[in-house]
Amino acid sequence: MARMNAQPSTAAADSPTSVHPHPTEPNDPRRERRRALKIGALAGGLIGSLFFGGYVAASMWICADARGCSYQWAHFIVVPAIGIPASILLGAAAALALRRFYELTRV
């Protein structure tokens, strides 16, 4: 049986109604906002983790030998459990606000 050496058609990929945008088109503003949101959430999570990790470490170090500290472990868990998600949300909100401010003041 003879082999057919037919080349695939590229007419659909080169058509003006192609789904993919041209590489020189400006970026989609929604895509840029999502990118800013992700970067802000990541930065807020990292900063919050460092801050509240330091809080837990300092609290445990101070209360290691002190008799006045409570022997309950709840505050070592509850404060970071509230603080880290709050810092993620604040980081994302700050990144979106800064992105919006940049869009408004861009010349």
CB 76 within 8 A of CB 59: yes
Specify if 92 maps to a domain.
Answer: yes
Which residues, including other chains, have CB under 8 Å from residue 87's CB and lie 6 or more apart? 44, 45, 47, 48, 49, 51, 52
pLDDT tens for each residue of the chain, 107 residues long: 555 555 555 555 555 555 655 555 566 778 888 888 888 899 999 999 999 989 888 887 877 776 667 667 777 788 888 999 999 999 999 998 998 898 888 87
How many folded domains does the chain comprise? 1
Residue with tokens 């999570």: 45
Note down the domain range covering 58. Answer: 45-64+73-107
Specify if 34 maps to a domain.
Answer: no
| CA 21 – CA 37 distance, rounded (Å) | 23
| Predicted structure pTM score | 0.62
Specify if 96 maps to a domain.
Answer: yes
